[in-house]
């Protein structure tokens, strides 16, 4: 799940600070996050400058280009989400969760930005997801060490799966049920959080299967069909796909 809470930034401001309390650079960055999240990355620098109350020249002075601005937005959003995860280390999972839920409306623009970033694709989107998965893996390792979550046989793979499912679930929800007339992207994300928080917490807490038979069967299949390893120095060739597990037929269940 994507976590949201008020976060203090290196410049002394917070993502929720009044615009007048922020530096010009921070106002530009935060204005860009809001507009990119609401309307996508087609928003121009002139609109961002107007949102921040500065000139287009000042945007270029601080960030160089639109790509430079987006990279700064990426770093800020990832930092904010990381700060939210670290809150669980300090205040405990339940206290952090209540704080984050109370701040959903305030920090929905960050989640909207994540959605737009993945929707846009490209190298920046790939880098963003890679960083998000790495941050999630570090959080899960700390959480497993503290007893908050169960350890995994492959922490990196689990973090990547959770990151993909979290972002993918949001993307699917917004594609099938986008903001309605007069509804902002942030309001649509609030609706998403309200709809899925309880069932996801139940799934993460209680689990789904009643025993390990399906996992055991798949791990046995993996051991029997390891992926091919290319020989050292040989040119790369497309991997031969492993045979897929056969689906049980109706007769096999009789």
- Could you list the pLDDT tens digit for every one of the 254 residues in the chain? 454 433 333 333 334 455 555 799 999 999 999 999 999 999 999 999 999 999 999 999 999 999 999 999 999 988 887 776 666 555 455 554 555 555 566 678 888 898 888 888 888 788 888 888 888 899 899 889 999 899 999 999 999 999 999 888 988 998 899 888 888 888 888 888 889 989 999 999 999 999 999 999 999 999 999 888 766 555 554 444 555 555 544 444 44
- Domain assignment present for 70: yes
N-to-C CA span, the chain? 40
What are the C-alpha distances in Å from 30 to residues 24, 25, 61, 116?
Answer: 10, 9, 16, 15
Task: Work out how many domains the chain is built from and give that number.
Answer: 1
- Domain assignment present for 245: no
- Domain assignment present for 232: no
* Residues in contact with 192: Cβ distance below 8 Å, sequence separation at least 6, in sequence order: 170, 173, 174
- Domain assignment present for 63: yes
- Domain assignment present for 113: yes
Instruction: Measure the CA–CA gap between 31 and 50, rounded to whole angstroms.
Output: 9
- Domain assignment present for 99: yes
CB-based contact 156:137 (threshold 8 Å): yes
Q: What is the CATH number of the domain that holds 198?
A: 1.10.357.10
| Domain interval for residue 173 | 19-213
pTM over 0.85: no
- Domain assignment present for 103: yes
């Amino acid at each position: 799940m994507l976590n949201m809470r008020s976060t203090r930034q290196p410049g002394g401001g917070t993502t929720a600070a009044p615009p007048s309390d922020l530096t010009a650079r921070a106002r530009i960055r935060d204005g860009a996050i809001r507009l990119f999240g609401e309307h996508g990355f087609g928003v121009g620098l002139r609109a961002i400058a107007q949102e921040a109350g500065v000139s287009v020249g000042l945007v270029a002075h601080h960030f160089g280009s639109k790509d430079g601005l987006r990279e700064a937005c990426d770093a800020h959003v990832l930092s904010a989400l990381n700060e939210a995860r670290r809150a669980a280390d300090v205040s405990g999972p339940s206290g952090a969760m209540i704080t984050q839920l109370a701040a959903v409306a305030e920090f929905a623009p960050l989640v909207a930005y994540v959605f737009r970033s993945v929707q846009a694709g490209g190298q920046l989107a790939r880098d963003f997801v890679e960083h998000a998965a790495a941050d999630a893996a570090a959080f899960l390792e700390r959480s497993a060490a503290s007893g908050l979550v169960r350890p995994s046989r492959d922490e990196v793979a689990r973090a990547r799966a959770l990151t993909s499912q979290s972002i993918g679930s949001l993307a699917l929800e917004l594609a099938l049920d986008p903001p309605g007339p007069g509804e902002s992207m942030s309001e649509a994300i609030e609706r998403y959080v309200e709809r899925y928080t309880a069932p996801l917490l139940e799934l993460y807490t209680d689990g789904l299967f009643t025993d390990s038979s399906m996992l055991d069967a798949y791990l046995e299949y993996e051991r029997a069909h390891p992926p091919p390893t290319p020989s050292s120095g040989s040119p790369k060739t497309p991997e031969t796909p492993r045979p897929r597990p056969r689906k049980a037929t109706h007769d096999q269940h009789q």
